[in-house]
Amino acid sequence: MSKASYRTVDVDGVEVFYRETGDPGLPKLLLLHGFPTSSHMFRDLIPLLADSFHIVAPDLPGFGRSADPRQNSFESIADTIERFTEIVGFDRFAVYVFDYGAPTGFRLAVRHP
């Protein structure tokens, strides 16, 4: 079982905290949490999937340990997470969505089927 690393990255002026684990050569999986939680909600799921996927689980902007930008519409959150995936090298990935993560993840899926 792999242990998650905790990182932050600047996404166009918004500091985004995320958990990451798994071999970068494995299929990529983006975990998007719900309201009012953070990537912490995946703390038990991440180790179970780490042998099969390269996983990143960001705290959505305004949640958990990520910065709270002035704009928090689903569209702006999706814009930030889309750019986040580019920065962390997730060019092709599956997405797991829950609650607030759904309008974000579904926007990403529509933009990049």
Q: What does the domain layout of the chain look like in residue ranges?
A: 5-111
Block means of pLDDT (10 residues each) for the chain, 113 residues, are 88 97 97 95 96 98 93 92 98 94 96 90
pLDDT at 113 (0 to 100): 86
pTM confidence score: 0.94
Which pLDDT belongs to residue 57? 98
CATH fold group of domain 5-111? Rossmann fold (3.40.50)
DSSP 8-46: EEEETTEEEEEEEES-TTSPEEEEE--TT--GGGGTTHH
pLDDT, residue 72, reads 81
Return the pLDDT at 70.
81
